[in-house]
A and B are shown apart, each in its own frame.
Chain A
Amino acid sequence: MAKLRPGLLFAAAGCGAIILIALLGPALFAGPANHVELDQRLLPPSALHWFGTDDVGRDLFVRIVFGARVSLLAALSTIAIGLTGGMLIGGFAGLVGGWVESALMRMIDAILSVPSLIVALALAAALGPNLRNAVLAIGLLSIPVYARVARAEALAIVGRDYVKAARLMGASNLHQIRANLLPNMLPPLLVYATGNVGAALLATASLSFIGLGAQPPTSEWGAMISASRSFLFSHWWYSFFPGAAITVTVSLFTLLGDALRDLLDPRERPR
């Protein structure tokens, strides 16, 4: 840690800024996200409207600022679902071992061999098109990924002496999970999850673009791009800025994930 890591610093500052925008932006920048002004329709970027306006005269900059909260919250929610489910299943498998573990892991492996986003698409369609269902579908189908990592962590923890000692002294599985497994599994899993924020955001934005996620007039970035499709050839800024917001945000979170992993794993191994 003697050396300052510019990459980590840059990524952390960038992600911090976006989180701040998501938290405070709507309060700081004037005007509600759905403020319609029909005489201000489809204006190009200007000093007044930095990113221009959309087809009903809403300011795109304001909508993108509001969208930061929606998009980021959706992405983080998918991760919360995947992480929680994965920790429970993976942690349990690692703790009990034996045939229960092999059966669980076989199942996990089988689901991992399925193109999860396509299945998430079908699941979201079956649940009904709204952002909550899209988040649920993506989150549920990401559980196996986290379960694998969680099991590996759990196995390492279960092998430690104090855990063995606790087991010898008759600690129940439930107690072991609460006292020993969860607190020790969480930090490495959180680092792993940070690396997935970008992918989660891309997935939720894609589902919204398709029409399965956020519905208009919600100012979610993917849904905004979807709404801009009919204006692609005439009003470039309408599709450009929401997509740029996604790209910048996902890039920063990907960088942060990479930098955190490099920090914990000194062997250089991006991927």
Chain B
Amino acid sequence: MGAGRADPLMAAASFLVRRVLATFVVLIAVTILTFVISHVIPGDPAQLIAGPRAGAAEVAQLRHALGLDRPLHEQYATYVVALLHGDLGASIVTGQPVLREILDRLPATIELMGLALLLSVAVAVPLGVIAAAARPSPLDTVLRGLSTVAISTPRFWVAMLLLGLFYGALQWAPPSGRLSPGLTPHELTGLLTLDSLLRGDWRLLRDATAHLVLPVAALAIGNIGTFARIIRAAMIEVLAQDHIRTARAAGISQARILSVYALRNALLPFVTIAGLELAGLLFGSVTVESVFAWPGIGSYLLDAILDLNFPVIMGVTLFVSIGYAVINLLIDLSYRCIDPRLRAPAG
């Protein structure tokens, strides 16, 4: 406001530097966590990497080859250097590099989680606004109760119920996987809906969408509850502020006040919290993907857990943690662009 022209820039720059540094610290923490889990906690990491069926000599050879007989700090250094080269190790089951297998499966998870996120926002925002505007009333109580139940329901159970009802009993939905047998996807982005849309392949689009409906719904339901609660709380806070009262006094309609004046302000805190909620969505996708045999990262991780495929377990954990930290960094940075008040802080 009254501040000089350079100040907001400086403030933004120092924010940027601090936030990027903090993310860097997070990345170090992530590598230490995964290192400790994979190298320190198991009695014999070599046995874990070699798999349960490996013999003693094989394990000893692997221990030496992997440098597991060297001091821990040296092992950590080797670990980090390998990571910097994009080396997450090789899968015990397939022998393929873990990073490549993750990247192969990434589009399936991004498509699933992205659509679940979109659906949750599209449903939760109106619900939260309506609940806040209707407060106090039976409608608000009912919506609050529903969102509480939604966040309290295990996603894997919803996934099973949906599959049992809409595929098992009613035969309305296709069983599992991303496509019906016999259909081949177009190799573009790996997002089947987007690819088929770009190629104008309507049959494929319909089939891919039909396969997405149930897993997306199962994944979204918890987030709808959480998001609706956040939006409602933020709206209540905003609606109590002076500028809303002024707008009311000026005779602006309730619909306009809610959708323009209040919602814009309420959405700002929501964006940050929504970024943090990605963690829950990620965890949910592990079980939901497994129920629907969805060939994404979640089911990859789950299969690895069942096979005791340790390089994959640790690789996915690391990959997902880094992705999560980076996404939240981007959200924080974009947040400053979305909110004009942060762009030019009062001097």
Contact = CB atoms under 8 A, between A and B. Distances in A.
A210 B163 contact: no
B179 interface: no
B26 A110 contact: yes
Interface stretch (A72-80, A170-178, A198-206): A198-206
The secondary structure that dominates the A interface is helix
Contacts of B81: none
A122 B163 contact: no
A167 interface: no
Contacts of B262: none
A233 B291 CA distance: 13
A268 B152 contact: no
Contacts of A122: 34, 37-38, 313-314, 317
A94 interface: no
A236 B162 CA distance: 11
A258 B148 contact: yes
Interface residues of A, number: 46
Contacts of A202: 152, 154
A178 B152 CA distance: 36
B168 A232 contact: yes
A211 B301 CA distance: 12
Interface in A234-266: 236, 239-240, 243, 246-247, 250-251, 254-255, 258
A211 B168 CA distance: 24
A247 B148 CA distance: 10
B244 interface: no
Given A119-B321, A210-B305, A270-B229, A125 B30 contact: no
A37 interface: no
Contacts of A121: 283, 286, 301, 305, 313, 317
A85 interface: no
A118 B279 contact: yes
The secondary structure that dominates the B interface is helix
Nearest to B230: A271
Contacts, number: 154
Nearest to B284: A206
B328 interface: yes
Contacts of B278: 115
Contacts of A229: 160, 291
The CB with the most chain B CB atoms within 10 A, among A113, A240, A247, A269, is that of: A113
Contacts of B313: 121-122, 125-126
A92 interface: no
B151 interface: yes
A11 to B, nearest CB: 10
The CB with the most chain A CB atoms within 10 A, among B48, B148, B232, B302, is that of: B148
Interface in B69-127: none
Nearest to A225: B157
The 7 closest A-B pairs by CB, nearest first: A243-B157, A250-B152, A110-B29, A233-B168, A115-B279, A251-B152, A117-B283
Interface of A: 106-107, 109-111, 113-119, 121-123, 125-127, 198, 202, 205-206, 209-212, 222, 225, 229, 232-233, 236, 239-240, 243, 246-247, 250-251, 254-255, 258, 268-271
